């Protein structure tokens, strides 16, 4: 079985509402991906097995979404040499600021590329993964360029119903 280039992992089923935007953006770029629930807190052995085996399995980039005390992206980065992008999921109590701070403040030596809180971060994690993969995939580079051109063309010059 061929392993897709991107793994999307998330701490809980409840993160899917955010992380589905990563999956949808990768779909729009025809980038195959795998989605899994992996939690540093609740399923530490699953995390260890996944992260230590991810590179040899054939994954190229890992996108990790988590909320609250969001240790998942950092712990994943500690266990693999692959690039890890972290998406702070918006939490109820602190609106995702806790998630953001947990993911972004990594100690020097173990990087996590941290995106914005919520949907924007989930979309941009996919685009960043696409940009990395496009460095060695000219077809994907073309698809990414076309995606951005469509986005530009979709922005109206004037707002509808201006106040």
Binding site members for substrate: 12, 15, 42
Q: What is the contact surface with ligand C2R in residues (CB under 6 A)?
A: 11-12, 14-15, 39-42, 66-72, 89
Closest approach, Cβ 4 to ligand C2R, in A, equals 22
DSSP state, 14?
G
Closest CB to ligand C2R among 19 and 133?
A: 19
Select 5 or 11, whichever has its Cβ closest to ligand C2R. Answer: 11
* Partner residues linked to 34 by β-bridges: 7
CB of 119 to ligand C2R, least distance (A): 14
Q: Cβ contacts of residue 76 below 8 Å, gap of 6+?
A: 9, 38, 40, 47, 50, 51, 62, 64, 84
**Which of 90/133 has CB closer to ligand C2R?**
90
Q: Taking the CA atoms of 154, 117, 112 and 13 in sequence, report the sign of the dihedral they define.
A: negative
Q: What is the DSSP letter of 15?
A: G
Q: Which residues participate in the annotated binding site?
A: 12, 15, 42
User: Can you say whether the dihedral through the CA atoms of 148, 119, 8, 60 is positive or negative?
Assistant: positive
Nearer to ligand C2R, 10 or 134 (CB): 10
Closest approach of ligand C2R to the CB of residue 84, in Å? 13
Minimum distance between the CB of residue 115 and ligand C2R, rounded to whole angstroms? 14
Q: Token pair for residue 20?
A: 């589905």
């Amino acid at each position: 079985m061929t392993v897709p280039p991107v793994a999307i992992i998330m701490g809980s089923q409840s993160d899917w509402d955010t992380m589905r935007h990563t999956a949808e953006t990768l779909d729009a770029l025809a980038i195959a991906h795998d989605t899994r629930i992996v939690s540093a807190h609740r399923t530490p052995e699953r995390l260890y097995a996944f992260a230590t085996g991810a590179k040899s399995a054939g994954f190229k980039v890992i996108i990790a979404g988590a909320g609250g005390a969001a240790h998942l992206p950092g712990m994943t980065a500690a266990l693999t040499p692959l690039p890890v992008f972290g998406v702070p999921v918006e939490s109820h109590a602190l609106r995702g600021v806790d998630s953001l701070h947990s993911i972004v403040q990594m100690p020097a030596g173990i990087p996590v590329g941290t995106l914005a809180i919520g949907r924007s971060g989930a979309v941009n994690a996919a685009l960043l993964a696409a940009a990395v993969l496009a460095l060695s995939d000219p077809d994907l580079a073309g698809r990414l360029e076309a995606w951005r051109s469509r986005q530009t063309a979709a922005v109206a010059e004037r707002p509808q119903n201006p106040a």
